[in-house]
Amino acid sequence: MILKICGITNQDDATAAVEAGATAVGFNFYPRSPRYIEPGCAGNIATAAGVRRIGVFVNEEPARVEQIARIAHLDVAQLHGNEQPVSYPANLAVWKAVRISGEVDLSPYENSPAEALLLDGPAAELYGGAGIAFDWRLAAGTGKRIVLAGGLDSSNVARAIELAHPWGVDACSRIESAPGKKDREKMNAFLQAAKAALQA
């Protein structure tokens, strides 16, 4: 299962996340995000072997996504805009983000080449780190690889895993002391709770 810490902006937080058990870290390349990081800075942040590096993008040109992926050493492009499969970046796994504000209709993604769908809560014009949850039962039984995001922390991740049986979970704003700055205690508690739920 994927245990992802998103909104990484510095080496200390990346190291702490990996040491606590994260299997993926996310870097936000949406310029309007308070967690935005320059591609070169992200590329200089080291992670352990086997930890997947995810880039968050919003309506970015495929060529630019591919360029940033090379600079930042990304494994996955997490696409939060109106991107269609024909414009997915080449030679890079894709997680397509879908905002959930009511009933879930994943039929448009039935034949999607995306590796996974990242289901996120409603967030208006915010992308990546709004901290709003949705009804996780809506994600169960979709037949797709699902990564749950939006409002997850140590208090609710076990329940989310129990209800949705996702492929991965993703935490950001609710484990921070400030946007882009992780609270070590909250981050560690989230990862430990997620791992415990998986072993239950």
Q: Which residues are catalytic?
A: 6, 120
The pairing of strands 2-5 and 146-148 is unpaired
| Nearest CA among 57, 56, 55, 44 for reference residue 15 | 44
Per the rule left: phi > 0, alpha: psi between -120 and 50, beta: everything else, 141 is left
By DSSP bridging, strand 2-5 and strand 168-171 are parallel
